[in-house]
């Protein structure tokens, strides 16, 4: 495979990084988080969200050191491979792939449900598949075009959430929010952690486009930090205001809590309710598009490193996008649509994320000792406290997620063992290809 076939274009600027980062996650404000109310209540879930916000703030500031020091498309796979060798790289790659590949069908379900809410004749599954086809086609046009699309759709999604908060805020009641606010006590807080993570999960996908960023040392920190601050403000605002307008149980197990909430405030037949449900698609599409960018780059990097079939690392000659990885990732997502449910896909995606967070923070500590001379354009502040806090909270989150979802935990770790078995059986843990040298150098 020639160098031309595996070199990505550097066209992304800080504003695009902000859009990709916010866009990757913003669907988490539209749906998914409300399942946390079902297990913890409003106050219990708010506490879980504060814990997870601390996790993500410390993680992102620490993770940015890795992203700027090793700005390659593999992201966590690349960092962990460099710090811990091929087995660490494989586990991080597997976890990251699960995170991004299963987040998209969860969003596809929500898109289908939003359209079904607007037009009951439209099938949920069919709409989800249609969005896979459309957004995969958008990404085949090229990263510059896809990043511009992300910027426009993300701006619309942010504006929509601000309008939503303005509409429901006058109807907020503290009594509603605090009514039976912690029905499961502190155990509910732990059970709600994966749904709190859904408010931020996938923001680290910015790392997947690091090879395509102009001046990554200066621009990646700007993208990460601005995206994280935007998401934290939106997450808390949407969650608190929504919990105070009615009996929160009405909204705790549906895929379209925000249109339903506006329907409570204004009436379901109100024109604004219908319009909001329609433009509510913006946030979901923004995340769908951003995650497609991320999983295609992760599959590309794993293939370039010799962990997946080389065909997944092939770039289109004109657009320089990993078109095979885009298509294969979309097909895997459609398969997941047939076999998974929204809450199950959310939990599996978050499980992959938290395993990757743990490995990334361990890799940060290892690389600080192993490669002290590595150029670090951005260093984790308050080292070693920030990465240490992120590591501890990630481990606690993983324990809680597996404890409350042990069947899905068995599925996740069985998949990891199968991947390790295939890796060893094929002897790839002993092979260093020119592509691997390129990735981990």
Say what angle helices 281-304 and 76-118 make with each other, to 10 degrees. 150
d(CA 67, CA 38): 36
pLDDT tens-digit readout, 285-317: 888 888 888 888 888 888 887 888 889 988 887
> In the chain, what are the domains?
14-440 (1.20.1740.10)
Q: Are the CB atoms for 102 and 350 separated by under 8 Å?
A: no
Q: Are the CB atoms for 276 and 62 separated by under 8 Å?
A: no
Of 2-16, 127-141, 341-355, 358-372, which gets the smallest average pLDDT? 2-16
Q: Any idea which residue has 């409350």 for tokens?
A: 404
pLDDT tens-digit readout, 380-437: 989 999 999 999 999 999 999 999 899 999 999 999 999 899 888 876 655 544 344 4
Say what angle helices 342-370 and 385-404 make with each other, to 10 degrees. 150
d(CA 441, CA 435): 10
Of 106-120, 157-171, 201-215, which gets the smallest average pLDDT? 201-215
222: Cα within 13 Å, side-chain hemisphere: 14
Does the N-terminal peptide bond of residue 384 adopt cis geometry, omega within 30 degrees of 0? yes
Size (the chain), residues? 441
Task: Read off the tokens for 123.
Answer: 């099938």
pLDDT tens-digit readout, 2-26: 444 455 566 778 888 888 888 888 8
For position 9, what pLDDT does the model report?
Answer: 64
Q: Are the CB atoms for 177 and 244 separated by under 8 Å?
A: yes
**Reported confidence tier of residue 120, pLDDT bands at 50, 70, 90:** confident
Global pTM value = 0.84
For position 1, what pLDDT does the model report?
Answer: 45
pLDDT tens-digit readout, 224-280: 888 988 999 999 999 999 999 988 998 888 877 888 888 888 887 777 777 776 666
Task: Read off the tokens for 172.
Answer: 């907020």
């Amino acid at each position: 495979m020639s160098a031309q076939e595996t070199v990505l274009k550097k066209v992304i600027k800080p504003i695009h990084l902000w859009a990709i980062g916010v866009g990757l996650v913003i669907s988490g404000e539209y749906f998914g988080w409300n399942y946390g109310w079902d297990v913890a209540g409003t106050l219990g879930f708010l506490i879980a969200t504060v814990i997870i916000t601390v996790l993500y703030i410390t993680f992102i500031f620490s993770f940015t050191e890795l992203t700027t020091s090793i700005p390659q498309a593999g992201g966590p796979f690349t960092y962990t491979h460099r710090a811990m060798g091929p087995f660490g790289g494989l586990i991080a790659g597997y976890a990251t792939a699960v995170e991004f590949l299963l987040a998209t069908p969860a969003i596809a379900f929500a898109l289908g449900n939003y359209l079904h809410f607007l037009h009951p004749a439209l099938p949920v599954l069919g709409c989800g598949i249609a969005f896979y086809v459309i957004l995969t086609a958008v990404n085949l046009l090229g990263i510059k075009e896809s990043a511009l699309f992300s910027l426009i759709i993300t701006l619309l999604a942010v504006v929509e959430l601000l309008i939503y908060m303005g509409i429901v805020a006058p109807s907020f009641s503290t009594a509603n929010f605090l009514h039976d606010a912690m029905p499961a006590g502190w155990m509910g807080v732990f059970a709600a952690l994966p749904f709190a993570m859904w408010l931020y999960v996938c923001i680290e996908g910015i790392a997947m486009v690091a090879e395509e960023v102009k001046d990554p040392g200066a621009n990646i920190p700007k993208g990460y930090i601005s995206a994280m601050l935007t998401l934290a403000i939106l997450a808390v605002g949407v969650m608190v205001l929504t919990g105070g307008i009615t009996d929160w149980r009405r909204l705790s197990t549906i895929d379209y809590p925000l249109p339903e909430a506006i329907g409570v405030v204004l009436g379901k037949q109100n024109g604004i309710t219908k319009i909001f449900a329609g433009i509510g698609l913006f946030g979901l599409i923004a995340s769908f598009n951003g995650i497609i960018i991320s999983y295609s780059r992760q599959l590309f990097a794993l293939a370039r490193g010799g962990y997946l079939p080389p065909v997944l690392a092939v770039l289109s000659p004109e657009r320089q996008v990993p078109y095979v990885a885009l298509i294969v990732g979309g097909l895997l997502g459609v398969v997941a649509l047939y076999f998974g449910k929204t809450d199950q896909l959310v939990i599996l995606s978050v499980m992959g994320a938290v395993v990757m967070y743990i490995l990334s923070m361990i890799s940060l500590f290892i690389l600080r000792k192993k490669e002290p001379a590595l150029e670090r354009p951005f260093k984790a502040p308050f080292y070693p406290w920030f990465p240490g806090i992120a590591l501890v909270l990630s481990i606690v989150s993983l324990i809680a997620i597996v404890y409350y979802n042990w069947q899905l935990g068995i599925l996740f770790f069985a998949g990891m063992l199968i991947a390790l078995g295939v890796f060893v059986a094929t002897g790839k843990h002993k092979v260093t290809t020119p592509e691997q040298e390129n990735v981990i150098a």
